[in-house]
């Protein structure tokens, strides 16, 4: 790749690094935020949920907007919005200010992330060059989350407001570089700019309602009425969206894209894989901090080794993909992730870090093998005019998977723990909840294995279906 191509890739990697570090830093700073602002548990949880709602609710619309209105334009515009509202979050003095800032930041990420991914997939030709770029991109994303845990712990010890101000500085630098390096990919003018307004309203409503229902699953004590109503409303809105898209002359989402078996399997596996990873990370954080009494920084450093995927994804994974193909590498990564979670299930009250280390290092290797190749498969063979949509579908799967994983492990943990408050009861809750990431990763591996024999003939059928 030439100098400008590397420059574009580094700018986009900076943006996905920014998104990962932003989420991770906030997660570890929540106790400090609660202590200063006096937030209730519900409001503190809402600070995280608001981002999930904005991100998950607008991701499909964001992905398609990049195709319709220009990838560079959408990327730059929403990077500015991300910068502004991240900074406003740092000046918050009330809970509602944080909720608003995180919701809009999530919406900005929902437009910015698929735009950035589609710039990569349309700037690099399909094949080894694109694969290399995507694996480098995936490694940067993982590195952002892993480093964010540590950086967030350090910043929270100084002042939690720096957790919001730091992304502002990074955003400004990325924006300046993007204005200079990123050009609108050729051929964009061929895409009709007509917006399917009815489709946009119904799919965004559906995603918001379903995301809200998933978030509420983490709080079974609040009752099931609103949760069931939100799910039902989301499904109804989704059904209306499908009906609208079937009749629309310029649909927001061409439903034929979902006829690709490779794309559907990749997105389903991505959803389950994200659910397993974020569910596991959440349980480990609670186990180390609440049951073992580790500090935020100690917990962050314990999880840092998982970030080895930031090194392996752009170095080891491309060689394995070239030799064995994406499907086999993804399958291997998911099997390793399942093993990592299973090795952690015998956790005890006196476990040393040496006992935890095998799970951490194996999970880092599994993540390096699965995440990048899943991104490749989910965008491989998709027409250039739908690359934003493909990115939106993939990141919607990741986001909803993360929310589902967190909700599932929380529900199981609470159900098993019951009214027991002893360390032994808490340990039993953690052990039971660890069955969730094990199961999710194993099912994802089975889904990928179902496409094991997907050779050139199957791929050609997928191309015909997409056309």
Q: How many CB atoms are located within 10 Å of the residue 425 CB?
A: 13
Average per-residue pLDDT in the chain? 84
Q: Are residues 187 and 225 in the same domain?
A: no
Q: Are residues 281 and 241 in the same domain?
A: no
Considering the entire predicted model, what is its pTM? Answer: 0.83
pLDDT value for 75: 94
Q: Domain check: are 234 and 268 in the same one? A: no
Radius of gyration (C-alpha) of the chain in whole angstroms = 21
Residues 183 and 219 in one domain: no
Distance of CA 454 to the CA centre of its chain: 26
Most confident of 61-65, 173-177, 191-195: 173-177
Neighbour tally for 325: CB within 10 Å: 16
- 56 and 177 both lie in a single domain: yes
What pLDDT digit, counting tens, does each position of 281-337 carry? 888 888 888 788 888 778 888 888 888 888 888 888 888 988 998 999 999 999 999
Q: Are residues 149 and 273 in the same domain?
A: no
| CA gap 115, 316 in Å, rounded | 27
Give the highest mean pLDDT range of 105-114, 335-344, 455-464: 335-344
CA distance 301 to 307: 10
Burial 26-62 (b: 16+ CB within 10 A, else e): bbbbbebbbeebebeeebbebbbbbbbbbbbbbbbbb
- Residue 467: band (very low, low, confident or very high) from pLDDT cuts 50, 70, 90: very low
CA 239-243-248 angle, to 5 degrees, is 140
Count the domains in the chain: 3
Q: Roughly how many angstroms between the first and final C-alpha of the chain, as a whole number?
A: 30
Same domain, residue pair 313 and 426:
yes
Nearest to 268, CA basis, from 452, 143, 48, 450: 450
Q: How far apart are CA 392 and CA 257, in angstroms?
A: 13
Which residues, in sequence order, are CB contacts of 201 under 8 Å at separation 6+?
A: none
Kindly state whether residues 222 and 285 are assigned to the same domain: no
Same domain, 100 and 113: yes
Residues 225 and 171 in one domain: no
Structural domain ending residue among the three candidates 251, 268, 292 = 251
Q: Quote the CA–CA distance of 104 and 54 in Å, as a whole number.
A: 6
Range of the domain at 149: 1-195
Q: Are residues 66 and 103 located together in one domain of the fold?
A: yes
Nearest to 174 by CA among 101, 85, 78: 78
CATH label of the domain that carries residue 181: 1.20.1250.20
* C-alpha separations of 181 from 65, 78, 446 in Å: 21, 17, 41
Same domain, residue pair 282 and 154: no
pLDDT digits (tens, 9 = 90+) for 105-151: 999 999 999 999 989 988 888 888 888 888 888 888 877 877 887 78
């Amino acid at each position: 790749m030439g100098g400008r191509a590397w420059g574009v890739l580094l700018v986009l990697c900076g943006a996905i690094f920014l998104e990962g570090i932003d989420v991770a830093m906030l997660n570890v700073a929540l106790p400090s935020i609660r202590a200063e602002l006096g937030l209730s548990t519900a409001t503190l949880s809402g600070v995280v949920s608001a981002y999930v709602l904005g991100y998950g609710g607008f991701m499909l619309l964001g992905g398609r907007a990049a195709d319709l209105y220009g990838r560079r334009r959408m990327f730059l515009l929403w990077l500015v919005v991300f910068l502004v509202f991240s900074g406003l979050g740092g000046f918050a003095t009330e809970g509602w200010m944080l909720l608003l800032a995180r919701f809009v930041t999530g919406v900005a990420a929902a437009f910015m992330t698929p735009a950035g991914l589609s710039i990569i997939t349309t700037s690099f030709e399909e094949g080894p060059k694109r694969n290399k770029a995507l694996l480098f991109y995936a490694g940067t994303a993982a590195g952002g989350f892993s480093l964010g845990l540590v950086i967030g712990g350090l910043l929270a010890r100084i002042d939690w407001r720096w957790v919001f101000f730091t992304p502002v500085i990074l955003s400004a630098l990325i924006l300046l570089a993007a204005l200079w390096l990123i050009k609108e990919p050729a051929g964009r003018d061929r895409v009709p700019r007509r917006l399917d307004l009815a489709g946009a309203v119904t799919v965004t409503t559906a995603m918001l309602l379903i995301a809200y229902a998933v978030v509420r699953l983490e709080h079974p004590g609040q009752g099931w009425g609103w949760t069931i109503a939100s799910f039902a409303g989301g499904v109804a809105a989704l059904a209306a969206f499908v009906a609208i898209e079937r009749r629309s002359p310029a649909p927001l989402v061409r439903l034929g894209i979902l006829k690709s078996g490779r794309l559907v399997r990749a997105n389903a596996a991505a959803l389950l894989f994200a659910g397993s990873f974020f569910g596991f990370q959440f349980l480990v954080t609670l186990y180390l901090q609440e049951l073992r009494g580790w500090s935020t920084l100690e917990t962050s450093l314990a999880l840092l080794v998982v970030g080895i995927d930031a090194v392996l994804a752009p170095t080891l994974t491309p060689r394995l993909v070239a030799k064995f193909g994406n499907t086999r590498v993804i399958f291997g990564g998911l099997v390793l992730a399942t093993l990592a979670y299973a090795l952690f299930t015998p956790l005890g009250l006196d476990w040393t870090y040496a006992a935890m280390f095998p799970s951490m290092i194996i999970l880092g290797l599994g993540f390096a093998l699965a995440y990048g190749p899943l991104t490749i498969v989910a965008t491989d063979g998709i027409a250039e005019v739908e690359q934003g949509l493909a990115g939106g579908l993939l990141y919607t799967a990741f986001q909803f998977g993360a929310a589902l994983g967190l909700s599932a492990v929380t529900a199981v943990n609470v159900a098993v723990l019951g009214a027991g408050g002893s360390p032994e009861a808490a340990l039993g809750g953690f052990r039971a909840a660890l069955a969730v990431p094990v199961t999710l990763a194993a099912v994802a591996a089975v889904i990928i294995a179902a496409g094991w024999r997907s050779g050139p003939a199957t791929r050609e059928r997928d191309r015909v279906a997409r056309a």
